[in-house]
Chains A and B, each alone.
Chain A
């Protein structure tokens, strides 16, 4: 029944997006898990994981900056791309489509704030 699996498959360890590359789409994980890595001083620092139904690369929908992190498949994953043009066209007609993206970004800002606070305390 795998013929019905939508999206694109990446093998374990395969890079899906690379920090510094230009991007014009976001991704939604359809199956499996991906790892978000920040490349700093020649090292790859894992900063988050994303599972089924979660976005990654969504910043490129709203800003024309290069990718701020690398995303790598942890085991086999299947992801679907969400094109910037398509999603912005839809948000223009239906702003409520952005609810979930804003909610996700809001949750991530909260998590980052908590992380910064923890580091300052320690």
Chain B
């Protein structure tokens, strides 16, 4: 049942609440839950909390506060992200009964092409299956003409509303603690207090500052900036030049750590991770032969294309919970650089099951929610190590030749373990925990083969592997 409450007016003024006994920290019939933000974290939290409450036999009231309108194109409907749904999340959602339809998924990704100055190589998914989804978070970039695909965030929001959540569209002006109960002050409406507030906003939201002023000791996560551009090419050109492959660039360009071009419906999304990214640096990257060959000859980025420099979180917030309050997704704990939506799903489910089964006390969140945040944090520390090594590879030609040589050999051989290919795949698609990736790189067989390929690359004076035209690689279409 979809709840169609879209208004700013979410109830009449209510009498001031007084704190209830400690056992009221358990939720039950009629409990009121506010969800701040309706990106993936907020919608997943609402969806799973309502689902678990139904299984337990109670019906809470869940109000989602969101100011963005996902049905609209441009910044008003966009949560600023590269828009990749990892294969592990696609599989988990399938197991949850959530099918991502082709009206939302603009392109199913079945491979990636690793581009370096020493060559390029295509790496397919193990079963030649489209297991990664490329989406737009809103209804599309600002220059979209007509909406051909729906918004991913809008799709999740609809799922939450179908479970019974109320959507309250508008700006939240302040949040206070009223007798221990979180109270929402939304524009044009009387304050309303809740039994639980799930904070599910991103690190770019100005609302996040409000929590630093509350007596819960909240410190938001540290952030860095990324750069995202949306280039309109048209569906045919995207299919012909980029195919169903994510294009990953490991190029020795100062200040750029990593870049990717993600094919979508009519657009190619360029994502850059680095420091002090400005127009000149973006132009340097686009003008590199490796990026140029992914676009039609003579193509130039249009001057008015949709682009942004959103902040991404690179550490966890402290604390990620208090009595009656929990911080989910980016504003709590998220995965380093990759699969932030997957981390939103994991933390949202942990918060939802804690609230439904164990209550909303700080103790309950410490016991049942914090371990998931800590697991993400621990894994991120190993991720930092992996990206440190990636940076070394990027800066050292011998290592680049070693990586490319090993990947090309693995892709050319019919059998055998594709150790480097899977390490690169999981690193760049965010499909496996960093701990698992690191463990694989410590395998003696991996180390011996990598050392052999580095030595071969050093001894060979010519480039280790010729650059194959991207278009010819895309002809290897999978089903």
Binding site for B on A (CB under 8 A): 1-9, 26, 28, 30, 52-53, 55, 80-83, 86-87, 89-90, 93-94, 96-97, 99-101
Contacts of A28 in B (CB 8 A): 94-95, 99
Query: Would A87 and B129 be within 8 Å (CB), given that A93-B346, A93-B375 are in contact?
Result: no
Q: Are B95 and A94 in contact (CB under 8 A)?
A: no
Least CB distance from A25 to B in Å reads: 8
Q: Identify which of B100-108, B170-178, B213-221, B287-295 touches chain A.
A: B100-108
Query: Would A53 and B99 be within 8 Å (CB), given that A1-B149, A3-B108 are in contact?
Result: yes
Q: In the bound complex, how far is the Cα of B97 from the Cα of A28, in angstroms?
A: 8
User: Is B273 located at the chain interface by the 8 A CB criterion?
Assistant: no
User: Is B92 located at the chain interface by the 8 A CB criterion?
Assistant: yes
User: Is B244 located at the chain interface by the 8 A CB criterion?
Assistant: yes
Q: Are B265 and A3 in contact (CB under 8 A)?
A: yes
Q: In the bound complex, how far is the Cα of B92 from the Cα of A5, in angstroms?
A: 17
Query: Would A8 and B92 be within 8 Å (CB), given that A28-B99, A30-B99, A96-B52 are in contact?
Result: no
User: Is B372 located at the chain interface by the 8 A CB criterion?
Assistant: yes
Least CB distance from A56 to B in Å reads: 12
Least CB distance from B137 to A in Å reads: 15
Contacts of A53 in B (CB 8 A): 97, 99
Nearest-CB residue, chain B, relative to A52: B99
Most chain A Cβ neighbours within 10 Å, of B95, B265, B372:
B95
- Chain B: interface secondary structure? mixed
A1, A6, A80, A100: the one within 8 Å of B96 (CB): A100
User: Is B400 located at the chain interface by the 8 A CB criterion?
Assistant: no
Q: Are B346 and A8 in contact (CB under 8 A)?
A: no
Q: Are A2 and B102 in contact (CB under 8 A)?
A: yes
Contacts of B148 in A (CB 8 A): 1
Contacts of B104 in A (CB 8 A): 4
B88, B106, B133: the one within 8 Å of A86 (CB): B88
Least CB distance from A32 to B in Å reads: 12
Q: Are B353 and A87 in contact (CB under 8 A)?
A: no
- 21 A-B residue pairs with Cβ-Cβ distance under 8 Å, sorted by A, are A1-B102, A1-B148, A3-B106, A3-B108, A3-B235, A4-B102, A4-B265, A5-B102, A6-B131, A8-B127, A52-B99, A80-B91, A81-B131, A82-B94, A87-B95, A90-B92, A93-B372, A93-B375, A94-B372, A97-B92, A101-B95
Q: Are B100 and A6 in contact (CB under 8 A)?
A: yes
Nearest-CB residue, chain A, relative to B235: A3
Q: In the bound complex, how far is the Cα of B128 from the Cα of A100, in angstroms?
A: 27
Against A, the Cβ 8 Å flags (1 = close, 0 = not) of B47-61 are 010001001000000
Q: In the bound complex, how far is the Cα of B259 from the Cα of A100, in angstroms?
A: 38
